[in-house]
Structure 1
Amino acid sequence: MSLPFLFFPLLFFPFFLFPLFFPFLFPFFLKPHLHYSYTPPRIKDYFES
């Protein structure tokens, strides 16, 4: 096995799991108009609009 084959998946691995590890940041990226809200987003926010 060569090193590129080991490092290449690691470069994209965090991007695929970004919504899983940082779910509290996702609603702010999807809904910029909520940037003034300091309350943590709830689970139902993912299913609303």
Structure 2
Amino acid sequence: MVTGITNGAGKSIIPNGYSTLKEGDTVVVAVLRQATKFIQKLFG
């Protein structure tokens, strides 16, 4: 679950399902402990 996004300009965004991720954005995610490695691979 994406819980927050900070765009490249430093503006915080509350994800609403229509958010577009761009290079330079910081994404905060909440995951189950068992899914940590998968999420790390997904976001590289």
TM-score (norm 1): 0.21
Bigger helix fraction: 1
Question: TM-score, normalising length from structure 2?
Answer: 0.23
Higher strand share: 2
Higher relative contact order (CA 8 A, sep 6+): 2
